[in-house]
Amino acid sequence: MQSRSIPLFTLCGLAAIAGARAGETLPTLEVEGRAEPDFSVHRVVAGERAAAPADSAELVRKAPGANVNRNGALTGIVQYRGMFGARVNVRIDGLNIAPAGPNWMDPPLSNLPTQFLDTLTVVRGVSPVSAGAETIGGTVRARSRRIDFGDNDQTRFQGELQGGYASANDAGSAGLLLGAADRRQRFQLEGSWDDADDLRAGGGDELIPSGYRRKSWALDYGRRLAGQTLDVRYQHNRVDDAGTPALPMDIVFLDGDLFGLEYQGRLGALELEGRLHYQSTDHRMDNYSQRRAPRMASGMAMRRFAVTDSNDWAWDLRAAMALGGGEFSFGVDGWLARHNADVFSPDRAAFHIENYHAIERDRIGLFGEWEGDLGAGWGLLAGLRYTHVHSDAGEVSANGLGMTQALAERLVETFNGRDRARNDDFVDLSAILSRAFSDQLTLEFGLGIKHRAPSYQERYLWLPLESTAGLADRRTYIGDPELDPETAYHLDLGLEWRSHAAYLTPRIFYKRVDDYIQGTPLNSGDALAYRRRVVGMLKGPGFCTANPGAPLCVPLRFSNVDAEFYGFDAGFGMRFDPHWSIDGSISYVRGKRRDISDDLYRVAPLNGTLALTYRRNRWSLTGEGVFYAAQNDVSRTNAEQATPGYGIVNLHGSYRMGRDLLLYAGVDNLFDRFYHDHLAGYNRVAASADGRAADLAVGERLPGAGRSLFVRAVLSF
């Protein structure tokens, strides 16, 4: 955030969107991101986007190797090199945050609206141990916007007003920031608003329901004294009537509060940092207020609603000091999360399922890391981390289930009768060795041993249901408290080449994962019998007898298997003259089982972007192509569908009026291409709540947005 003399977002059109800072001679890694001095990370500056997406997760698509799993408009789950969900360490202002929905209707980045977002950073390659615990699938860091302290005792006032519209879903957005600062303290107030109707795909098909309503506001106060800085933040988020057509239910509301503290200072030779937050979110969802509820074979509607909540404490305390010609950092961090989820029926007061009850997942970690020069152009970043994870769950119950009550009671008795407390201890290692051959060429080799303890869904889902952290594969699952932690062995080789007018940052990687957690089919037991009884009520009593292997009839149990991931990704670009430049990226990953011949679920296909930009002092224009290959390497275990390849064209432009007003306009998917995003879920909705038939068939993969014209204005004052 900048002072009054430099507008809050120093936006210089899509030339700036390409990320070049004053004095730099190179373009950035991609059209709408900013390159870091260290090519091991990729940073996107939210204020330099032509179109600000409602879901902050959408921004990671620009980073090589990164992508997004989507089950609805605000449900972006980060994917990096084929891993997603709890395997990717997503931190907001340096800390993890617990989704309230057991199906991740509110994944971590949904807690930070784009209007509040300053930067989003994707760590490329092996995550250092200082990046956090359970980084088996990589690390993404989001930073909220903060105005700077002033240079003197005079109070400086500043602000920003922004607004935008996109035609594909009649989406409106607005953001306001008001701030005041001097050299000792700063204060800011932020507000954001987002509103959208159902999304139109290419050719005009509508995704129902896919609209949303969201309001957020935040207060931030900072105090600086004698080299010490303390920041206090409060944020409130409210989401209403948000459709999630790939999940069994839609969002009725999400209501959350977050309180945060940050400290920076020195103690002798030690540089100190501390972060702490507490967050609490209440959540309600149902399958009938925005869509037509599913019906039994008898014609009776199966209306359900769920009430869930989560709260967590998280902290990160660390120090750094000069040691051995480099810097040694060490610290302790923790994350204590609690969850509950109950399912009800509005038509039967006796119906009640404790989906998850009194869930505890507590994680404590210690790390030490050294970074420095080894001489002769060699550098090293290496560290160790110890992590302890304790998880437990309370007793559950199920009532009013009619024909399935007896089977459910047996599952309840089995779950309640076992010891559910688990303790996992593991040590992570990361080492990143670099060699600078010249000012233009650097080689980096990374290796790591990383672990992840099972999530609470993977351990404590006791009844065959689909509350699986957003897997959205239309399969029901049960958990297993006996699951072992995942162990991954990483190898990563990267190259950075830069000249005065071009750059190339390719990487290749391999990751071997032992005890990878994956659903495997049940072939006996009460959970299988329960599921077949439910399907009989939906499809008729003989359906599973006639189709015993149908995915609808066979639940999956979370199990330990063996897997591997390998591939490559790269950013590249060239500046032809002061006006013309080209930027792009390419990403490929293959995810496979090692114990059987099968591919892993929901892995991004080969994809890339290519953008050509023309820029002048006050305006710029960018044409961008986004390309995805067909994905035929799909999981048979998850009954995953293959998807064809596609390409779309986007045009973005900007114009600066005076010093403080910046205007953007453009069109995404210029030719209104109808396409299926392989990382989107499958449609679950046959009709809207008022009976309007869906344009998409049930079971069809959700398509991407059709042609969307957008405008956006940013006024700094």
Chain segment 355-402, per-residue pLDDT in tens: 999 999 999 999 999 999 999 999 999 999 999 999 999 999 999 999
Q: How many domains does the chain have?
A: 1
% of the chain with per-residue pLDDT over 90: 91
Residue (of 308, 311, 319) closest to 335 by Cα position: 311
Q: Which tens digit of pLDDT belongs to each residue from 602-648?
A: 999 999 999 999 999 999 999 999 999 999 999 999 999 999 999 99
Asked whether residue 8 carries a pLDDT value surpassing 90, the answer given is no
Residue 588 sits at the vertex; the CA angle it makes with 119 and 561, to the nearest 5 degrees, is 100
Asked whether residue 135 carries a pLDDT value surpassing 90, the answer given is yes
Asked whether residue 3 carries a pLDDT value surpassing 90, the answer given is no
DSSP 22-78: TT--S--SSTTSEE-SSTTEEEEEGGG-SS--SSGGGGGGGSTTEEEEBSSTT--EE
Residue at 7 is within a domain = no
Q: What pLDDT does 18 receive?
A: 31
Asked whether residue 703 carries a pLDDT value surpassing 80, the answer given is yes
Q: Please indicate whether residue 174 or residue 18 has the higher confidence score (pLDDT).
A: 174
Q: What pLDDT does 21 receive?
A: 29
Q: What pLDDT does 20 receive?
A: 31
% of the chain with per-residue pLDDT over 70: 95
pLDDT band at 11 (very low <50, low <70, confident <90, very high): very low
Q: Which tens digit of pLDDT belongs to each residue from 189-212?
A: 999 999 999 999 999 999 999 999
Residue 298 sits at the vertex; the CA angle it makes with 297 and 303, to the nearest 5 degrees, is 85
Asked whether residue 151 carries a pLDDT value surpassing 70, the answer given is yes
Distance of CA 157 to the CA centre of its chain: 34
Residue at 346 is within a domain = yes
Residue at 606 is within a domain = yes
Pick the range with the lowest mean pLDDT from 21-30, 195-204, 228-237, 533-542: 21-30
Q: Which tens digit of pLDDT belongs to each residue from 257-305?
A: 999 999 999 999 999 999 999 999 999 999 999 999 999 998 999 999 9
Q: What pLDDT does 289 receive?
A: 97
Pick the range with the lowest mean pLDDT from 32-46, 272-286, 599-613, 658-672: 32-46
What's the CA gap between 614 and 402, in Å, rounded?
66
Residue at 284 is within a domain = yes
What's the CA gap between 500 and 16, in Å, rounded?
18
Average pLDDT, the chain: 93
Q: For residue 390, what is the domain's CATH number?
A: 2.40.170.20
User: Residue written as tokens 């569908």?
Assistant: 641
Q: What pLDDT does 30 receive?
A: 32
Q: Which tens digit of pLDDT belongs to each residue from 483-517?
A: 999 999 999 999 999 999 999 999 999 999 999 99
What's the CA gap between 536 and 548, in Å, rounded?
12
Residue (of 29, 131, 108) closest to 587 by Cα position: 29
Neighbours of 346 (CB within 10 A): 14
Residue 713 class from Cβ within 10 Å (0-12 exposed, 13-18 middle, 19+ buried)? middle
Crossing angle of the two packed helices 405-416 and 526-539, in degrees rounded to 10: 150
Composition of the chain by helix, strand, coil, percent to 5:
10, 55, 40
Asked whether residue 31 carries a pLDDT value surpassing 50, the answer given is no
Residue at 5 is within a domain = no
Give this prediction's pTM.
0.93
* Mean per-residue pLDDT, 584-598: 98
Instruction: Please name every residue paired with 253 in a beta bridge, in sequence order, or none if there are none.
Output: 240, 284
Residue 298 class from Cβ within 10 Å (0-12 exposed, 13-18 middle, 19+ buried)? exposed
| Containing structural domain, residue 533 | 13-716
Q: Which tens digit of pLDDT belongs to each residue from 210-224?
A: 999 999 999 999 999
Q: Which tens digit of pLDDT belongs to each residue from 303-360?
A: 999 999 999 999 999 999 999 999 999 999 999 999 999 999 999 999 999 999 999 9
DSSP 287-300: SSSSBPPPB-TTS-
Is 387 in contact with 497 (CB distance < 8 Å)? no
Tokens linked to 279: 């967050």
Distance of CA 451 to the CA centre of its chain: 19
Distances (CA, A) of 25 to 19, 21, 64, 546, 577: 11, 9, 22, 67, 11
The residues, ordered by sequence, that sit 6+ positions from 82 with a Cβ below 8 Å of its Cβ are: 565, 567, 589, 590, 591, 600, 603, 604
Asked whether residue 10 carries a pLDDT value surpassing 50, the answer given is no
The residues, ordered by sequence, that sit 6+ positions from 594 with a Cβ below 8 Å of its Cβ are: 512, 561, 562, 563, 564
Distance of CA 576 to the CA centre of its chain: 35
Residue 154 class from Cβ within 10 Å (0-12 exposed, 13-18 middle, 19+ buried)? exposed
Distances (CA, A) of 274 to 59, 171, 676: 27, 38, 44
Residue at 3 is within a domain = no
Q: What pLDDT does 39 receive?
A: 64
Residue at 1 is within a domain = no
Tokens linked to 427: 């040590």
Residue (of 630, 629, 638) closest to 552 by Cα position: 638
SS3 189: strand
Residue at 220 is within a domain = yes
